[in-house]
Every structure is written in structure tokens, then in C-alpha cells.
Amino acid sequence: MRLASLLTVLLAAACGSAGDGTSGNAADTNQIERLATPRVEKADPKASVRLQAIEEADIATEGMSAAGCRFIRDGRMLLASAGSDALIRIAGKLRHLIHSAPVGSTGGFFEDRQLSVSVGRDRDVPISDGTPSGPARITITNRRTEAQIELRGVWTCTS
């Protein structure tokens, strides 16, 4: 609606005359076309698979227990799994995933209607408190758009 009003004003100005056969401050065809053509911003094709950090408060708010497995990268938790539930955040929204295979200290597979998430340990390296933890990779795939991201981090499971 606002764009249509702007075009009307520009077209009216272009039709007016200064009385001497010139158009004064009239907009030329190039200016009208540039203003009439909406700017198309390219969408990030990987936005639908880009994980964002989740917090302990998110886990509690979503009714999940604190025990379970987690994928952590650069000190930020990107996936939490407990019981038969897993939690991630994409585009600012928390999403619950179900386990599509057993989850344990070596990794796990999670999914919903649109996403498939795979976590796999590189090797078992116990940390100082005895909790099985080690280097891992996580692969997030959007089944509809085929967008995919793979990240390296640490997979930790507690009992």
C-alpha cells in the first residue's frame, strides 16, 4: 500500500510540467523502476539447520531432566538429550526431536518431520571426573531443502 502511494506521487510528478516544456523534478523511468522493484534479499540456505545455543533454563522449562547426553561446541550447548526427548534451537525456536536409534556415550540419531540430526563420537576419552566425554561431530540435515551443516565439538553423557 505504501509502495503504491509512492508510485502514484512519482508518476504524478512525472506528468506535471514546469510550463516551459521541461519536466522539472520529474522522476525518470529508471528511478520509477528502481523504486517499484522490491529488493530481494537472499535467504541463508543453511538457516534451517544452523544450531543456536540452549541453556539449562531451556531444559528445565521444556520439562526435561538434567541427566542425559549433550553436544557442546565452544562452550555452548547445542543439543541436549534426556529420556526419549532431545532439544535443539534453530532460528530462535526450541525444537523437540525424538530418538530414531539408541542414544549413548558413542552418539545418537534424532529427528522430527523436517530435520535429521546425527551425533557420533570420534573416540572415547574420559574426562577427569569420570564422565564419558570426547570429541564428536554433529550433522544436521533439513530433509526438505537438503541443507546440511556438520560441526565438531564434544559429546558428553551422564548417567
pLDDT tens-digit map of 9-26: 555 555 554 445 455 667
**64, 85 contact by CB (below 8 A):** yes
Torsion of CA 78, 69, 136, 141, to 10 degrees: -50
The bridge status of strand 76-82 relative to strand 85-90 is antiparallel
Per-residue DSSP letters for 106-117? TEEEEE-SSEEE
- Which residue is listed with cell 534479499? 41
Report the pLDDT value the prediction gives residue 28, as an integer from 0 to 100: 80
The bridge status of strand 51-52 relative to strand 85-90 is antiparallel
**Residues of the chain with confidence (pLDDT) below 50:** 17-19, 21
Alpha-carbon distance of 149 to 142, in angstroms, equals 9
pTM as predicted = 0.69
